[in-house]
Amino acid sequence: MAMLEVKNLDVHYGVIQGVRNVSFEVNQGEVVSLIGANGAGKTSILRTISGLVRPSNGTITFEGQEIQKTPAQKIVASGLSQVPEGRHVFPGLSVLENLEMGAFLRKNREENAQNLKHVFQRFPRLEERKTQDAATLSGGEQQMLAMGRALMSQPKLLLLDEPSMGLAPIFIQEIFEIIKDIQKQGTTVLLIEQNANIALSIADRGYVLETGKVILSGTGKELLASDEVRKAYLGG
């Protein structure tokens, strides 16, 4: 059984339809990438999965339970966590306080301390800067902080929205190495990305979106090798 199953999803903003009859699934332990140009509906799909937007049609099933009508905080508590586009760290709070915000639904102090230790092991730069105001971090460090904060809730499924956006190539490489590492530790990942090359290179499977519809799907390798994908997203 798929960990996450999206079936016949429609999302409207007023009269505009942003997502049209989209279906896909994410199995336990996979990295699945949704790729497509700006405006293809990728972020709308992610926001609908995490309960921030209500679909006009279709079902979203997480671990056998339908969640398309569930409040966002309950979805997080059930083991699904999102790193939004543009990072969104809390300015005025330290790096440590930002990470603690990620564990606000978890009341076990010992567990939280253990999770914090793991996050610092994975992102040593955050530990070095733990007392610093999050707003003073570089873009790449803020992306690490946003990912670390999401991991503090020990998600079964991590939703990543455009993690490479606005980052220098060296940071992009590092972020994607970390995503592979997160997968190895047992977390399932749904990744939304315009940078098709790097997203598909780490994906077990991928789906290509265009104007709100899935137009292609396959393994990461198949999509990287596809002429259609190469022409549209990989510059040749």
**Residue 236 pLDDT > 70, yes or no?**
no
Nearest-10 Cα torsion for 47, 52, 56, 58: 60
Taking residues 31-45, what's their average pLDDT? 90
> What element of type H or E holds 158?
strand 157-161
pLDDT in tens, 98-142: 999 888 766 778 888 888 999 999 999 999 999 999 999 998 899
Taking residues 48-61, what's their average pLDDT? 95
Do residues 190 and 160 touch, judged by C-beta distance below 8 A? yes
pLDDT at 88: 81
What residues does each domain of the chain span?
A: 4-90+158-233
Pick the residue with more confidence: 102 or 58?
A: 58
Annotate 55-93 with DSSP letters as a single string: -SEEEEEETTEE-TTS-HHHHHHTTEEEE-TT----TTS
- 136: tokens are 């003073």
Do residues 130 and 96 touch, judged by C-beta distance below 8 A? yes
pTM exceeding 0.85: yes
pLDDT at 102: 84
Percent composition of the chain: helix, strand, coil (DSSP 3-state, to 5): 40, 25, 35
> What element of type H or E holds 224?
helix 220-225
Task: Give me the chain's average pLDDT, please.
Answer: 91
pLDDT in tens, 156-198: 999 999 999 888 888 899 899 999 999 998 999 999 998 899 9
Just give the CATH number of 4-90+158-233.
Answer: 3.40.50.300
Phi, psi for 218 (deg, rounded to 5): 170, -175
pLDDT at 11: 95
Q: What is the percent of the chain with per-residue pLDDT over 70, rounded to a whole number?
A: 97
